[in-house]
Structure 1
Amino acid sequence: MELLHLRYFVAVAQELNFSTAARKLHMAASPLSRRIKDLENELGHRLFDRDTHHVRLTPAGGALLPIARGVLDEVDSIRWRLDETARPRRTTVLLGIPGGIHPDLRERIDALAERVRDRFEIKRWPGASERLVEAVCDGRLTLTLARLPVGGDPALEQLPVMSERLGAVVPGDRFAERESVSLAELTDLAYAGSPAAATTAYFRGLDQQLSDFGIKKRIRLSSVTFDGVSEIVSSGLAFSVSMLDPRSPMQNYRLENVAVLPFSDFDPRLDTGLLWRKDRADGGDLEEVVAVAREVFAEPLQI
């Protein structure tokens, strides 16, 4: 008995019509009928009652059908079972995600996750950039996105992934119908920096740059969120700096009487990088993920 005999038998048993079963098997009805007779002779049982109008399973045929299906299912599953056995187990990769990540960057991260999905499952972990970088250093996170610059830890390697242009977050009524704003027009306003929980080395450096450009007043916001900064700006007391692209999630914090305008005499940009420990990438457990990341982010996003 060959497996083909069982496949032929199951096809006829499902259709109860030799011509229809033959078409599905891509063969003629006569050779199919002969194969069924060969199987009946080998088993010593008639499997079908046939006349000019009907085909019916005999009791022996009815008993054989679930057996034949079970055998074929087992045989058909051999390939995927071997594939599952040979395929390495998926490793979970914890990826740090700072707040306000641009949707285009999220798409790139999704592309990275799809490229490595057979070997790795990428799960996202939120946090402030500096804390996320610390977690990569001590092994609590596998890799992370972070706002640059970060501390110059020699154990870390970084890949630039995005550069975003920043604009001035200003009172809307004062700068109505304006297409840009200069730093000189903001010197009478206080600068309201990022909330303490989201402050990065970049924004600390930006604070100093603004001071050098003549922006001397400050409103320190140690315990409010981004919408709190928007409230201060909306009231006309201050301005802030944030992502210029209207698709940025940071734009969701903008209230009425708040506008985000490009600077006419200043071009601040916030860069984001992907960071990991060198020892985990150079012949380590992240070598494959990092290699794919270098391909996905071969050209950093410019927003």
Structure 2
Amino acid sequence: MDIQQLRYFVAVAEELHFGRAAERLHVTSSPLSRRIRELEKELGQELFDRRYHQIELTPFGHVFLEPARDVLARFDALAGLAAQAAPAPPARVRVGATPLAPTQVLDLVLETLEKVSPGIELPVTLEPSAGLLGLMATHKLDIAVVHLPVDDPDLGSLALAEYRFAVVMRPGDPLADREELTLGDLADRQMLLTSPKVHPLVMNRLRDHLRSGGVTRIRELPHNDVVQIAAHVAHSDALSLVASSSLAGRVLGESGLVLVRLNDPDLHFQLGVVWPASLEARGGPVVDAVKALRERRGASLTIL
């Protein structure tokens, strides 16, 4: 006796028709009938009363049916035991971050997520802030490190750091030996800005602040490529702005350009995290991490 014979028997007993049972089992009637005969021979009892175009269970067939069903149910349940015994997959939070920002904030966010949910998987996507906000809107990220502010009522946000700017110039520039500069020192100079597409709200605010401070010769580049910015500055009298603690700041400094601190308390970028506001009602690693970040930050921002 084997499990296939029992499965064949139960199908015929429920259909009371060899043809329909064969269709249900995706076999032909001939092997089905043969296996039932073999089972009856082994049992030494008839299971079916076969008549012309009609079959019925014998009294023994009725007795045999429920135990056979029970054996099949137990057998089929064996396949699920491995899945039940397997450890639950680790929690997974999809993290986004802008590569234009200092890495300290991303490191802080990742460390906090790992602390509130040990063993968590943290795949990271690097995109400019505008791209990250688009991914958040399509539910492809769970939390992202971006420049603030953001103008989306569906996102929660928390500022974690702010950083000041440095003015980038070629060696030998008349301003290169200064310890610090103000916007007034830059009023007659051309200023290169990266594409506002990286974060329109923030970049437009930066442009407006420069113009209000007298820096009106602004040229917006169609990209945010640090190498191309370095080339523009190195071969012209143009200046640019960069957060000195950012990856872009390090690249520009290592390329031989001069970075001079800009003294303007009103000009700073905030960096923080955004997450879907809908997550707050459900809880989970993102909500726990945001709570921990909020408590850590306290009343002040980290200055980068």
**Which TM-score applies when normalising by structure 1?**
0.63
Structure-2 residue corresponding to 1:41: none
Structure-1 residue corresponding to 2:303: 302
Whether 1:167 and 2:184 are equivalent positions in the alignment is no
Provide the secondary structure at the position in 2 that maps to 1:93: coil
Provide the secondary structure at the position in 1 that maps to 2:179: coil
* Structure 2 counterpart of 1:163, one-letter code: E
- Aligned partners of 2:137 and 2:157: how far apart in 1? 12
What percentage of residue pairs aligned between the two structures are identical?
18
* Structure 2 counterpart of 1:95, one-letter code: V
8 A contact 2:156–2:275 mirrored in 1: yes
* Structure 1 counterpart of 2:281, one-letter code: D
8 A contact 1:180–1:264 mirrored in 2: yes
Q: 5+ unaligned residues in a row in structure 2: which ranges?
A: 1-83
Q: How much is the aligned-residue C-alpha RMSD, in angstroms? A: 2.7
Structure 1 residue 265: deviation in Å? 4.9
- Aligned partners of 1:225 and 1:195: how far apart in 2? 9
Structure 1 residue 101: deviation in Å? 3.0
* Structure 1 counterpart of 2:252, one-letter code: R
Structure 1 residue 97: deviation in Å? 0.6
Structure 1 residue 105: deviation in Å? 1.8
- Aligned partners of 2:160 and 2:291: how far apart in 1? 14
- Structure-2 change in CA distance of 1:260 and 1:199 (3 Å): farther
8 A contact 2:169–2:176 mirrored in 1: no
Structure 1 residue 294: deviation in Å? 3.2
Structure-1 residue corresponding to 2:248: 250
Provide the secondary structure at the position in 2 that maps to 1:242: strand
- Structure-2 change in CA distance of 1:196 and 1:205 (3 Å): closer
Structure-1 residue corresponding to 2:204: 204
**Which range moves more in the overlay, 190-199 or 275-284?**
190-199
- Aligned partners of 1:288 and 1:88: how far apart in 2? 20
Structure 1 residue 211: deviation in Å? 1.2
- Aligned partners of 2:105 and 2:247: how far apart in 1? 12
Q: 5+ unaligned residues in a row in structure 1: which ranges?
A: 1-83
Whether 1:237 and 2:237 are equivalent positions in the alignment is yes
- Aligned partners of 1:279 and 1:178: how far apart in 2? 49
- Aligned partners of 1:266 and 1:237: how far apart in 2? 25
Structure 1 residue 116: deviation in Å? 3.2
Tell me the matched-pair count. 217
- Structure-2 change in CA distance of 1:249 and 1:278 (3 Å): same
Structure 1 residue 169: deviation in Å? 1.6
1:31-50 alignment runs, 5 A limit: none
**Which TM-score applies when normalising by structure 2?**
0.63
Deviations 1:39-77 (A, max 9, x none): xxxxxxxxxxxxxxxxxxxxxxxxxxxxxxxxxxxxxxx
8 A contact 2:191–2:238 mirrored in 1: yes
- Structure-2 change in CA distance of 1:85 and 1:242 (3 Å): farther
1:10-159 alignment runs, 5 A limit: 89-118=89-118, 120-151=120-151, 153-159=152-158
Structure 1 residue 194: deviation in Å? 1.2
- Aligned partners of 2:124 and 2:185: how far apart in 1? 41
Whose radius of gyration is greater, 1 or 2? 2
* Structure 2 counterpart of 1:279, one-letter code: S
* Structure 1 counterpart of 2:201, one-letter code: A
8 A contact 1:219–1:238 mirrored in 2: no
**Which range moves more in the overlay, 125-134 or 250-259?**
250-259
8 A contact 2:194–2:221 mirrored in 1: yes
- Aligned partners of 1:215 and 1:231: how far apart in 2? 21
Whether 1:176 and 2:173 are equivalent positions in the alignment is no
Structure-1 residue corresponding to 2:213: 213
